[in-house]
Amino acid sequence: MGSLVSSQWLKACLEGNLDIVEHFVENGQDVNFAESGGATGLIVASGDGKANVVRFLLSKGARVDHQTIDAGNSALFCAVVKGHLEVCKLLVAKGADVNQGTNVGLSPWLLACAKGHLDIVEHFVEHCGQDVNFASSGGVTGLMCASGEGKPNVVRFLLSKGARVDRTMDDGNTALDLAVSNGHGEIVELLTRHASASAN
């Protein structure tokens, strides 16, 4: 495929032009075509919240596990960045892994917690069976991400679902340590109150 056509394909996916996307596919476009950096139509459409295009590409066999070369970003990771819940739902329904790490080990799950996207966090836990105490490489948990980034709404939810405050990262830090070092007083209070209640 010529570079002009391939760039127009990705542009159509990015902009959510479903008629044009369908036209390309009807004329032989490979839905899993990736440009030199690894971006696919599904990845760019997901990152921009174009649910109509995402739905169509998934129906045509677009791979949900494909990652970009430079950063290792998946379609689900890109959807989480800007909080596109509907797109996240479509992707996980097709088997997207909420714990698939990027090149630096950050996953859609950890990112959703860090960004404070409570609706996505709730969906991952309640509809995808996500373990709230799942730890990535380095021992990082969702509670640590939410605590360090100052997201009390997510912290409250995770604690209500059994997130452990005593988990430590490989460097020895806990969620409480991260909240204290970043000056998140409300979260410090939430974590200490929860730890005290759990001890009684």
Q: Note whether 25 and 68 are same-domain residues.
A: yes
179 is a domain residue: yes
Asked, for residue 53, whether it belongs to a domain, the answer is yes
What is the predicted pLDDT for the residue at 198?
77
DSSP state of 139: S
- The CA distance from 68 to 75, in Å, is 9
| Span 126-143, pLDDT tens digits | 999 999 999 998 999 999
Final residue in a domain of this structure, among 53, 87, 103: 103
3-state secondary structure of 74: strand
What are the residue ranges in the chain where pLDDT is below 50?
1
The answer to the question of residue 111 being in a domain is no
| Vertex 145 angle, CA 55 and 179, to 5° | 150
Biggest CA–CA distance in the chain, Å, is 67
Same domain, 89 and 151: no
Distance CA 151, CA 114 (A): 7
Distance in angstroms (rounded) separating the CA atoms of residues 86 and 100: 19
pLDDT of residue 195: 86
Sign of the alpha-carbon dihedral angle for 87, 65, 103, 12: negative
Beta bridge mates, 67: 74
Residue 185: predicted pLDDT = 97
47: CB partners within 8 A, 6+ apart: 75, 78, 79, 81, 82, 84
**10 within a domain of the structure (yes/no):** yes
* Domain identity same for 142 and 74: no
Clarify whether residues 7 and 93 are in a common domain.
yes
Q: Are residues 76 and 4 in the same domain?
A: yes
Residue positions counted in the chain: 200
Same domain, 92 and 52: yes
Give the CA distances from residue 195 to residues 51, 114, 128, in Å, rounded to whole numbers and listed in that order: 41, 21, 27
**One domain, residues 154 and 61:** no
What is the predicted pLDDT for the residue at 130?
Answer: 98
Structural domain boundaries, residue 34:
1-103
**Claim to verify: residue 98 and residue 159 sit in the same structural domain:** no
Residues 67 and 146 in one domain: no
The answer to whether position 168 is within a domain reads: yes
Looking at residue 127, its pLDDT comes to 96
75 and 30 in a common domain? yes
- Number of H helices and E strands in the chain, helices first, is 12, 0
Domain count, the chain: 2
Please list, in sequence order, all residues whose beta carbon lies within 8 angstroms of the beta carbon of residue 163, skipping any fewer than 6 positions away. 132, 133, 141, 142, 143
Whole-model pTM: value is 0.94
CATH number at residue 144: 1.25.40.20
Residues 71 and 143 in one domain: no
Asked if residue 155 and residue 84 are part of one domain, the reply reads no
- pLDDT in the model for residue 1: 45
